[in-house]
Amino acid sequence: GLTRLVNPDVLSTQQVDLNSLSSGRIEQWQKAWALTADKPIFGHGAESYYFEAQIKSRHPHNFILQFMVEYGVVGLVMTLVGLAYLCYLGVANTLRECNCINLFCLASVLSLIIHGLVSGTLFYSPPLFVLCVAAAYICAEHSRQNRIK
């Protein structure tokens, strides 16, 4: 946790490197990148990181690397295009009608994407449920605003 960064006693008694400060994420990211090189186009298949990486973690703590390993470039591009379009719709909704719900849904989507860069946010059901609810509202609101025009 944060103690490693602010408590000098902890740092002086342990061997400290970037991988240990990142809770082993650097090693996981390197392993994920190496797996991506094996099957770059379509990947290894759903939830294959756990079996292929032979590391205790079920995901590489980065959704981009996770999708590269599991679904390859094709799956990653489709996912990023979908997320980018969702963000575009969320921004468009908020610019047309700036209210709490539009802002909350846009902030939810953006925060889940950003957090997914350093954690398994898009691997677990509860954050995916929040993402789906926010995405459904953003799409419904965009459709509603287009009918009103």
Question: What's residue 49's pLDDT?
Answer: 87
Are the beta carbons of 40 and 72 closer than 8 angstroms?
Answer: yes
Query: Of 90, 47, 94, 98, which is closest to residue 69 (Cα–Cα)?
Result: 47
Question: What's residue 54's pLDDT?
Answer: 80
Question: What's residue 56's pLDDT?
Answer: 77
- Angle 37-43-47 from CA coordinates, rounded to 5°: 120
Question: What's residue 4's pLDDT?
Answer: 55
The total number of residues written for the chain in this structure: 149
CA distance 131 to 68: 20
Pinpoint the alpha helices (H) of the chain.
Answer: 3-6, 8-13, 18-21, 25-38, 49-53, 63-96, 100-115, 125-148
Those residues of the chain that have pLDDT short of 50 are none
Question: What's residue 145's pLDDT?
Answer: 87
pTM of the model: 0.82
Place of tokens 């990023």: 80
Question: What's residue 102's pLDDT?
Answer: 96
Average predicted confidence (pLDDT) for the chain: 88
Question: What's residue 6's pLDDT?
Answer: 61
